[in-house]
Amino acid sequence: MSNVKSCPTCGGASKVKEVDSVVEYESLQNSELEKKIVQLKKAMMKYKEKSEALEAELKALKSK
């Protein structure tokens, strides 16, 4: 997943790339931002599912 930050010159959302100590900003369109949001939501759901499974396992171990 690429690094997304606000552009210092225009304030819009942009991808940040650092090549040979030179930082480059590439603007993002709304459709690209929506894809990033979907990716983040999927990653959060996976993390949530894993944490809930670990909590259930911990609870089962404590009850023994």
pLDDT by position in tens, the chain (length 64): 568 888 888 888 888 888 888 888 888 787 878 888 899 999 999 999 999 999 999 999 998 8
Overall number of domains in the chain: 1
What's the pLDDT at 5?
A: 82
Q: Strand ranges (DSSP E) for 1-64?
A: 3-6, 13-19, 22-27
**Domain interval for residue 17:** 3-63
What's the pLDDT at 56?
A: 94
pTM of the model: 0.53
Q: Which pair of tokens denotes residue 34?
A: 């929506």
**Rounded to an integer, what distance in angstroms lies between the CA atom of residue 64 and that of residue 45?**
29
**Rounded to an integer, what distance in angstroms lies between the CA atom of residue 25 and that of residue 20?**
14
**Rounded to an integer, what distance in angstroms lies between the CA atom of residue 57 and that of residue 55?**
5
> Which H or E element spans position 35?
helix 30-63
